[in-house]
Amino acid sequence: MRLPKFIAKPYRLRDYRFSLVILVTVLSFIGILVVGSAKESLQNKQTFGVVAGILIMLVVSLIDYVWVLDMYWLVYIAAVGSLGLVLVIGQEVNGATRWINLGITTFQPSELAKILLILFFSRFILEHKDTINQPVTLIKYAIFAGIPLSLILAEPNLSTTILTALVICLLIYVGGLSYRFIVTVILVLIPSVLIFLVIAVQPNQPFLQDYQQERILAFLNPEEHMSDAAYQQNNSEMAIGSGQLMGKGLDNNTTTSVKNGNFILEPQTDFIFAIIGEELGFIGSCIVIALLLLIVIQCILIGVRAQDISGRIICCGIGGLIGFQSFINIAVATNMIPNTGVPLPFVSYGLTSLVSLYIGIGFVLNIGLQPKKYQ
């Protein structure tokens, strides 16, 4: 039986980036240990997610990304359709509708949509590479970006909306957006953000949910919110510092730890870095950060050698997603920015996020199997 054309390509084993596979696997293994220490009942699910993710990654890495991009409109429809579906049949938790209940588990469409949108816009930019700086193309790009971003914001999920918007902006920058336009946008954006923040902290402001405003106020005035909105971030910061150089060790029984003392509500997800800092110490935290940085660098290096601009955009998009998401998660845990609900890539508990990132890495690996030298 002959293999399908999109799989049976003349790949060479020496072009397979095993180093990238090792990096994400080691980081995921650390994630299994830390999630198990934070909440033991979830360790088996996290292990299943890692094993399933690795298998999916290996399969995706052998599927020609060019063949997938030929169906880029279907990819976009799948992303937008899933985001719309969650608003219709999604499960509401704490006032937010972000998950679809599948019975045995829940599915968060916004996590997979990040990967699908990277694929779509990589092909969109390839199709419009000669007119990327023309107003008509930029308007189209803004419209196609605005639809999924609006759906994510409607869940509501402001942090994922901002993260996805950053990645979409990175994609068009890599695609050749002129620096003149970038400078113009920055000059407009900076005062706009400042005006937004001034309005957002006012009573009865129209832009943010109450809990979102409380998080900003807690960040700006932590002393006034020690017992409510700033509670988790302050405890996270203290936990990371208490780990000192070597940490207290995984699965410790110290009653004053953030997990045993219930000082953080969900330490296995958004505040997983607090567990890393407390139990693995400064050394363990540096190892996790170094692994994340090396994964981002590997994605960029593969993108530099990609056979076309769409391959380069995908690699930079996946690398940028991992980099932005890691920065936001760690910055929240260390009280550098207001509290947001963004998981730490390959470490935090969450099967949708984990598998989606593995799919993204699978596409990066396939691009690495088709380097520029074959043209």
104-126 pLDDT, tens digit per residue, is: 778 899 999 999 999 999 999 99
78-82 long-range contacts (CB < 8 A, ≥24 apart) are 78/116, 79/112, 79/113, 79/116, 79/117, 79/120, 79/148, 80/113, 80/147, 80/148, 80/151, 82/109, 82/112, 82/113
Would 15 be classed as within a structural domain?
no
For residue range 49-89, list pLDDT tens digits in order.
Answer: 999 999 999 999 999 999 999 999 999 999 999 999 999 99
Domain that holds residue 164: 20-374
Domains of the chain: total = 1
Strand order across the beta sheet in which 96-101 lies: 91-93, 96-101, 106-107
Would 300 be classed as within a structural domain?
yes
Would 6 be classed as within a structural domain?
no
- pTM of this structure: 0.90
How high is the pLDDT of residue 374? 43
- What does the alpha-carbon distance between residue 370 and residue 367 come to, in Å, rounded to a whole number? 5
- What does the alpha-carbon distance between residue 343 and residue 346 come to, in Å, rounded to a whole number? 9
Would 230 be classed as within a structural domain?
yes
> Phi first, then psi: what are they for 64, rounded to 5°?
-60, 115
Would 3 be classed as within a structural domain?
no
Residue 249: left if φ>0, alpha if ψ -120 to 50, beta else—which one? left
Would 2 be classed as within a structural domain?
no
pLDDT at 243 over 50: yes
Would 4 be classed as within a structural domain?
no
Would 14 be classed as within a structural domain?
no
For 317, residues 6+ apart whose C-beta sits below 8 A from its C-beta are 118, 121, 122, 167, 170, 171, 174
pLDDT at 228 over 60: no
Q: How many C-beta neighbours within 10 Å does residue 108 have?
A: 22
Arithmetic mean of pLDDT over the chain: 87
Instruction: State the residue for tokens 């180093």.
Output: 19
Look at 143 and 184; give whichever has higher pLDDT.
143
